[in-house]
Structure 1
Amino acid sequence: MALNLKGKSEESKTQCILEFVNHILESRGQVYDLEFIKLKELKLTDAEISEIVAHTAMNIFTTYYHMIAKTEIDYPLVKAQNKQLDNY
């Protein structure tokens, strides 16, 4: 869990997915074919890749909504330990 909070994983497949999601966030959705090739090499299907993108987008817009609505958080806040991830 500690590695996940840093955007890292010991498992290579999970690490590749985390890097893909971080790239989506950092590039504001400008993803290159190379990223998809890496995921395909891990035997991820188009449906699985689409699900990763959909969950990423859903979480971004959920966060935006709650920031705009100033929703009061009623559960323990967990912050990423990666400074770059704290901004998302």
Structure 2
Amino acid sequence: MSRLTTPSLDDVPAGARQILDEVAAQLGFVPEMFRTIASNPTVLEAVTSLQGTMSRVLDARTRHSIALAVSQANECNYCLAIHTYTSSEFGGMSSEDIDLARAGNAVDPKRAAAARFARHVVESRGQVSDADLAVVRDAGYSDPEILAIVTVAVQALLTNFINNVNQTDVDIPAVNAAG
């Protein structure tokens, strides 16, 4: 059971309702994580603004792979469920792609390097070596793209921490695995 108060949709504070409507329009439902965060409209705005901004960096499958790798590293069951759902339903990732991403890997070598690097950033608390940077650069990432990888990883880390603290009830629809 979730440990923080999750307001009903009718009890969401003013200022948060529009954001939840936008989440519902995008996903087809309002995940419990967003309803919980809506108890503090400023935090909800910060989380959704960061997500919206970061949706403009890297390609979708790379972002999904990073989120899955980071969520697995942090053992965040809620984030694993929602990222599996969004990766499959909206990102066109197969079950194999999702399993590989959770392990910090991918069929595509460039995407694999990003997922591994992101996972390493989280596990090392950002204390990566010159060799770690060389590997991700050798995979084809520029320094601005490396900044994007780190920021997408931190975005996932933020929601991992919120959901791990809350022990958010998983309310994610079943995945229809992409082919």
Partner residue of 1:24 out of 106, 113, 121? 121
1:1-88 maps to which residues of 2 (within 5 A)? Answer: 1=97, 2-76=99-173
> What is the CA-CA distance between 1:76 and the residue it aligns to?
4.5
Measured at CA, do residues 53 and 9 of structure 1 come closer, stay the same or move farther in structure 2, by a change above 3 Å? same
The runs of at least 4 aligned residues of structure 1 exceeding 6 Å deviation read: none
CA RMSD, aligned part only?
A: 2.2
Matched-pair contact (CA < 8 Å) for 2:105–2:113: no
Counterpart CA distance in 2 for 1:66 and 1:17 is 24
> What is the CA-CA distance between 1:59 and the residue it aligns to?
0.9
Measured at CA, do residues 10 and 54 of structure 1 come closer, stay the same or move farther in structure 2, by a change above 3 Å? same
Counterpart CA distance in 2 for 1:35 and 1:75 is 35
Where does structure 2 lack aligned partners over 5 or more consecutive residues? 1-96
Which is higher, the Rg of structure 1 or of structure 2? 2
The two structures have a TM-score, normalised by structure 2, of: 0.38
The two structures have a TM-score, normalised by structure 1, of: 0.69
Counterpart CA distance in 1 for 2:153 and 2:110 is 17
Matched-pair contact (CA < 8 Å) for 2:104–2:115: yes
CA displacement 1:18-37 (0-9 Å, x = unmatched): 22122112212211111112
- The alignment of Structure 1 onto Structure 2 pairs a total of residues equal to 78
> What is the CA-CA distance between 1:42 and the residue it aligns to?
2.6
Where does structure 1 lack aligned partners over 5 or more consecutive residues? 79-88
